[in-house]
A and B are shown apart, each in its own frame.
Chain A
Amino acid sequence: MSEIGAFLLEKTVVGSVMFGVTLGVVAYATLGERKLSGFFQDRHGPNRAGPWGLFQPIADGVKFFTKEEFIPDRANKALFVIAPTFTFMAAGFLIAVIPFGDRIVVNGREILLQIADVNIGILYILAISSLGVYGVITGGWASNNKYSLMGGLRSSSQMISYEIAMGLAVVALLIDHGTLSLRQIVLNQTGPIWQWSVFTHPLGFIIFYVSAFAEAARIPFDLPEAENELVGGYHTEYSAMKFGLFQFGEYTHMTLASGLIATLYFGGWSIPWLTAPAEPTVWWGLLTFAVFWIKTFFFMFVFIWVRWTLPRFRYDQLMGLGWKKLIPLAVLNILAMAAILIATGGAGME
């Protein structure tokens, strides 16, 4: 087989597997959320569709496809239809650069368990995830409903505010690691557990984590869909699969945000004290793949855990926390990190 053919085959297989696995996890994240929400409230959660409710996502999918498609009379039809795909695509594109696992060698060919190891990985993620807000604001605008519009506007202002804090927290991390490549950041964190960035950037981690909650519009920052003020927020007028795509996009966002937290601050697919073998087999690849998902699942669990612990912020509190607390703290974090690196002549200074 020619070199280009082998390359195409490799990327097709890796891409399909990563995309499929992620979407499978996202589908079951909807069940997981409802199941765990049940446990947090001393109940069972969905348990009627199949054993432990395992067929619930399938039942939900069937329901989404068979329900009536409702488009409001004076809605902007084109924008109304296209908005959910924006949200979903913006979240789905992020799969491309997430390092799901280490490299493996099959028949002398090196295969990376990551769709593309681009040298602007983090920049790409910040850029694409900001696009998700277009779907939300387009949906809110196109619905021709004041509550939807309010939800869309809130969402955009919230995302813009917290993107700054998130970006600044990442900048401190980048100064330390000296690279934007997500794979390189994971490689830098291999070795003993204290190599994890969370131990070298505790403040940056907290800022990034809080911002990730706001970016994914999860409680306590779910202002865009604050149901007691805005009915359903930007998706009030949406039904059937269009609503399903919004939901799916949101859960994809949450899943990938968890994966990103694991990658940036908790060593991604790496296992503490364990170094990659010289000839990485498929088993090593599967092991790192599993480790990545275990870490990701933990952070998804925390997303749900926080949901049942904290009440929603008021809008001015949300903005106050973002602009008056997190952003100054993030700037302080960058300055402190830069000062430490200059003083010690640390990594990434060349």
Chain B
Amino acid sequence: MANTEVKSDPFRKYDLTLAERLYIPAIMKGMGVTLSHFFRKPVTVQYPEQKPEISHRWRGRHVLKRDEFGRERCVGCQMCELACPADAITIQAGEVPPERRHLHTTERYAVTYEIDMLRCIYCGMCEEACPEAAIFLTPFYEFAEDSREKLIYSKEMLTEKVGGPIFYKD
């Protein structure tokens, strides 16, 4: 005869002890757990006054970088526009006029560069697609405005004021 020993059935109802059937001790134990939480320090971050710590790798508002001579890195190649899965980026490229020569690295540049912050899904594909390391996503995340138009950011709003070398923090 084969081994008839019944393995312990995980679904078998086990017999409650008297203390469990009386409920009261179990309730007291549970009340003790909740009371310990009552005296615990709240974990809330009081948002507008207190800001949470945001990782520097957070994908938030975009920035168009300048190089160490203050020239726009963007050459208007539209790679980011092509890569953008949400069609949030609109670029009109053009030839650099003579009076702007000192502001650009090549003769092609972005005449207008708009990102619709409501369409953007903050995936960072533009950042990956950019051959000139011109566009980056920053940890800025407070976008609230009172109209949709105000959330279409222009080139002036996106371009940084002072240039410099690019450091990859990670």
Contact = CB atoms under 8 A, between A and B. Distances in A.
Chain B binds chain A: yes
B135 to A, nearest CB: 38
Contacts of A43: 42-44
Interface string A66-95: 000000000000000000000000000000
B18 interface: no
Nearest to A220: B27
Given A39-B38, A206-B24, A44 B31 contact: no
Contact of A42 (B31, B35, B42, B46): B42
Contact of B31 (A36, A41, A306): A306
B44 A40 contact: no
A308 interface: yes
Interface string B28-71: 00110111011011111010000000000000000000000000
Given A206-B24, A310-B27, A305 B43 contact: no
Contact of B35 (A38, A206, A305, A310): A305
B30 A38 contact: no
B37 A42 contact: yes
B59 to A, nearest CB: 28
Contacts of B33: 309
Contact of A38 (B24, B27, B42, B46): B42
Interface in A196-240: 206
Contacts of B31: 305-306, 309
Contacts of A39: 37-38, 42
B34 A40 contact: yes
A309 B34 contact: yes
Contacts of B34: 40, 305, 308-309
A298 B27 CA distance: 18
A346 B152 CA distance: 86
Contacts of B42: 38-39, 42-44
Contacts of A308: 34
Contact of A40 (B38, B41, B46): B38
Nearest to B43: A42
Contacts of B38: 36, 39-40, 305
Interface string B1-44: 00000000000000000000000100100110111011011111
Contacts of A306: 31
Nearest to A38: B42
Given A305-B31, A309-B30, A310-B30, A41 B24 contact: no
Interface in B76-101: none
A302 B43 CA distance: 23
Nearest to A307: B34
